[in-house]
Structure 1
């Protein structure tokens, strides 16, 4: 494993990445803060993408859109307010949507379905050279042929697997930290190996352990929120490794701020308090863990 002048192998904290946050400027506009596109799931499974998209807005992205099959449009349109909806049928339509240079980050995977459509849309986004976050089904769909995924990664990309999804692409885990670094190097993407102590690893060998997680994060939808935070910060222009580190820490801090009884829907609305603390400077903010 390698060290860099800015990062050493160790614990995650705002000291590592707070200088890379994209704070709004008095003369700025929403596009200065990025446009994130979230791939929506089918009509019976819209909750995950809606969680991710709401989080992406709370995470600071200036504009967030959900791209969905027309059959699910009504559900998303009724449930979403500031999040825009973009109906599309196939990979060609998806590629046309994200070809807009103002689209600066794409999230795919939460409840997208393990099917040929998901696979085609993931490859379309990667081949377009867009900064991407791949989670859940966008990873599982490449089980048995991960080289097709790795070979398409050329732009900043973050993978956010839990241990089961990780094993489908990289094999069984024997040492979380070492295996995450090897996986990052093999894939060419930043690896966020989720767990009680989440491991964030870069292809160049940098590795950070996030230790401020709350046990209340072990709840359905928590990973969708984390993926939404990752794409939000990536869309705002943060480098992929720093975006992954920041998202993981902010996700965990939001859980601590809410406390017992947390469900995933509670997390996005805690992010303003996280941002307020960060605005005071990380030395004055309470880091748990």
Structure 2
């Protein structure tokens, strides 16, 4: 276990190597991400996440939606695939396809749907799972039940309020707070902010800074966190380890925002990623 000073994430050989696709690879070599959506009228957040996962290079991305939202989603997506997923039993059936190697639950999911689907998603410890938003809040009254189900391939991406509901309010030392949360939960924890802090259960920690000359204040807009969840899920699908996927994802997310600048809306973020990747020579 280590409590060394956290390192700051930035572009470098490790990020470039992780993000570069090898020549001649098949789409399944880059993973298949499944993003679970909420019901009718609540699908936008999951669609943003799915777009982020696809743009960061997941080989395939599927949205799992309840039947009532199927037509709504079908009218909005093209390269992103669509599967009906009504409940926990349906998700169990979907996950019989072992090629689905990374899941994203939370954006727009609803608390009831989260309580039904999260335990199913966590049942296979070899599969990466990102939990955000409703998938975290659904366990605010019994966080120990969530922590007992988590495994080392999990990433939690709370904002400050969601973090407080699960772990208590972060103290003045955000790094120490996130390290403690990661140890308690047994998962990688990412606490969003101008300085996003990410920690692993073994005490390793990184910071993705968006302050000073690297500031990206335009990220304070609805849906930006959903895109971040999707970017990290896409990196997990590509086989990148949870701490690195979360750290790289946070940096890429802020860099995409810096490219767009004032007037940014969440839909802009996935579309800015190709330029970021090109400049990294990935």
Same fold (TM > 0.5): yes
Q: Which moved more, 1:18-27 or 1:221-230?
A: 18-27
Query: 1:19 deviation in Å?
Result: 5.4
TM-score (normalizing by structure 2): 0.94
- Structure 1 residues 117-152: Cα deviation after superposition (integer angstroms, max 9, x where no partner): 311211101012221000000000001111111111
Q: Are residues 1:104 and 2:101 paired?
A: yes
Where does residue 56 of structure 1 map in the other structure? 53
Aligned residues of 1:163 and 1:193 also touching (Cα < 8 A)? yes
Q: Distance in 1 between matches of 2:69 and 2:85?
A: 10
Q: Is the 8 A contact 1:36 1:106 kept in 2?
A: yes
Counterpart CA distance in 2 for 1:48 and 1:16 is 32
Q: Give the alignment's TM-score, normalised by structure 1.
A: 0.92
More displaced, 271-280 or 57-66? 271-280
| SS in structure 1 at match of 2:12 | helix
Alignment of 1:159-174 (within 5 A): 159-174=156-171
Count of matched residue positions in the alignment of Structure 1 and Structure 2: 276
CA contact (8 A) 1:17 1:245 kept: no
Gaps of at least 5 residues in structure 1 are: 281-289
Cα distance in 2, alignment partners of residues 192 and 178 from structure 1:
12
Cα-Cα RMSD: 1.5
Mapped to 1, the partners of 2:118 and 2:193 lie a distance apart of: 24
* Structure 2 residues without counterparts, runs of 5 or longer: none
Q: Give the conservation status (yes or no) of the 8 Å contact 2:206–2:247.
A: yes
Runs of 4+ in 1 over 2 A off after TM superposition: 14-17, 22-26
Residue 252 of structure 1, aligned match among 251, 254, 259: 254
Q: 1:277 to 1:19 in 2, by over 3 A?
A: closer
| Pair 1:92–1:155, CA change in 2 (3 A) | farther
Q: Matched residues in 2 for 1:160 and 1:241: separation?
A: 12
Match of residue 284 from structure 1: none
Q: 5 Å matches for 1:189-228?
A: 189-212=187-210, 213-228=215-230
